[in-house]
């Protein structure tokens, strides 16, 4: 699979980005899905909140084998400080990524997150939990990036898929980065197609 270099950001010039607006462009009253602790959003892929990540019994019951913590920083408000030691003895593969408190940095985690999920799902018995504190923004953003990178979805398709199953609310800045990722992936696929034709 030919993917974006994990060392490169999908954003051309982060200083050119506009700051996140104070009001949310999404009207939450239109959403008919309730905020649930955990939802299966793809076969064997779940998005959840911190309560789900902390509930070892629930994780065993669900058969979770891989955890992608999208809010992994120590002792900071708005993070979920579990780590691989928390899941010791549970046969869970853990990957912790920073909480992205500064929204311009999330794009550098798109590829590592997509690879983690992709590799986990190669085993037909694996189940992946992607979580952050509320299971609405950071975890949802990384899941959308996975769909775009590994399943050739455009950003709109990925969002349409996710919102049919779970209430999600990615930050405006995260959506901007997903749009840049979408444009980069389209360009890569065009270049790949043109190279094959030559």
Catalytic residues: 132
Give how far Cα 82 sits from Cα of 53, 64, 157, Å: 8, 15, 32
Phi–psi pair at 47, nearest 5 degrees: -110, 135
Element (H, E) at 41: strand 38-42
Element housing 61 (H / E) = helix 56-62
Q: What angle do CA 165, 148, 154 make, to 5 degrees?
A: 85
The answer to whether 140 and 166 are in contact (CB under 8 A) is: yes
């Amino acid at each position: 699979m030919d993917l974006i270099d994990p060392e490169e950001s999908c954003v051309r010039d982060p200083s050119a980005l506009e700051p996140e607006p104070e009001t949310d462009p999404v009207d939450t009253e239109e959403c008919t899905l309730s905020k649930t602790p955990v939802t299966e959003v793809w076969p064997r892929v779940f998005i959840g909140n911190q309560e789900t990540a902390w509930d070892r019994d629930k994780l065993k019951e669900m058969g979770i084998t891989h955890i992608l913590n999208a809010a992994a920083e120590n002792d900071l408000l708005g993070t979920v400080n579990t780590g691989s030691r928390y899941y010791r003895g549970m046969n869970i593969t853990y990957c912790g990524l920073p909480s992205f408190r500064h929204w311009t940095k999330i794009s550098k985690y798109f590829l590592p997150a997509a690879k983690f999920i992709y590799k986990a799902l190669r085993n037909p018995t694996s189940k992946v939990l992607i979580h952050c504190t509320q299971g609405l923004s950071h975890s949802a953003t990384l899941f959308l990036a996975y769909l775009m990178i590994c399943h050739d979805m455009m950003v709109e398709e990925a969002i349409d898929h996710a919102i049919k199953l779970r209430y999600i609310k990615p930050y405006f800045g995260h959506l901007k980065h997903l749009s840049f990722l979408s444009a980069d992936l389209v360009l890569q696929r065009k270049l790949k197609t043109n190279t094959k034709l030559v």
